[in-house]
Amino acid sequence: MDALRRTLLKGAGATGAIAAAIAAGVLKPSQALAAEWNKNAFEARDLAGALKGLGAGGAADSKDIVIKAPDIAENGAVVPVDVASNIPNTQSISVLVDKNPFPLAAHFDFANGALPQVAVRLKMGQTSNIHVIAKADGKSYVAAKEVKVTVGGCGG
């Protein structure tokens, strides 16, 4: 079953899924995204600048943002991070890697009642906190988790 699922998805290509998402109104088309590109936030070179760009400087700590990420990354080039917000009316989720050259790694807007849950693969050069900002009803919330990036070897 799993092999079949894999083959089907490979055949269909990832674009199919994205097209479906856009058609369903869950994701906005690229033109719209481009128009809303938050240059100040994405081009900020430190966490404070990125948070300022997002308008999330005074975000409140929240346990309703759930970050699933490895304690130690298996491969710093593709660190799997899953984020879900249990805050009612979550309208956007932003993912930031504090020590990356450009900390803001991803920003998602949720429309039409889409579930505020995303899975991303992040590139990380060194051990760092990952900060997640969720916005709901005009307020900002934040949670963080550290992911260790190591050169490896020498175990056991």
Partner 1 sequence: MSMNRREFLQILAAASAAGFALDSRELLAAQGGGKLYDLPRFGNVSLLHFTDCHAQLLPIYFREPNVNLGIGGAVGRAPHLVGEHLLRAFNIRPGSLDAHAFTYLDFAQAARAYGKVGGFAHLATLVKRLRASRPGALLLDGGDTWQGSATALWSKGQDMVDACKLLGVDIMTGHWEFTLGAERVQEIVKKDFPGKIEFLAQNVKTTDFGDPVFKPYAIREINGVPVAVIGQGFPYTPVANPRYMIPDWTMGIQDDEMQKVVDEARGKGAQVVVLLSHNGMDVDLKMASRVTGIDAILGGHTHDGVPAPSIVKNAGGQTLVMNSGSNGKFLSVLDFDVRGGNIQGWRYKLLPVFSNLLPADKEMAAYIDKVRAPHKAKLEEKLAVSEGLLYRRGNFNGSWDQLILDAMMEAKGAQIAFSPGFRWGTSILPGQAITFEHVMDQTAITYPYSTLTDMSGEMIKNVLEDVCDNLFNADPYKQQGGDMVRVGGMSYACDPNAAMGSRIQDMRLDGKPIEAARTYKVAGWAPVAEGATGEPIWDVVTKWLRDKKVVTPRKLNEPRLIGVAGNPGIA
Q: Where does this chain bind partner 1 (CB under 8 A)?
A: 2, 5-6, 68, 70-75, 80, 127, 148, 150-156
- In the complex, what is the shortest distance from the CB of residue 63 to partner 1, in angstroms, rounded to a whole number? 15
Of 40 and 129, the one with the shorter C-beta distance to partner 1 is 129
Q: Which is nearer to partner 1, 68 or 123 (CB)?
A: 68
Question: How far apart are CB 33 and partner 1 at their closest, in Å?
Answer: 26
Between 52 and 145, CB nearer to partner 1? 145
When the beta carbons of 32 and 78 are compared against partner 1, the nearer one is 78
The answer to whether 132 and 143 are in contact (CB under 8 A) is yes
DSSP for residue 34: H
Q: Shortest distance, CB of residue 80 to partner 1, whole angstroms?
A: 8
Which among 64, 56, 111 is positioned nearest to 83, based on CA atoms? 64
Cα–Cα dist 67/31, whole Å: 29
Q: How far is the CB of 28 from partner 1 (least distance, A)?
A: 27
Classify strands 90-97 and 65-68 as parallel, antiparallel or unpaired: unpaired
Cα separation, 100 vs 109, whole angstroms: 22
DSSP state of 36: T
φ and ψ at residue 33, rounded to 5 degrees? -60, -45
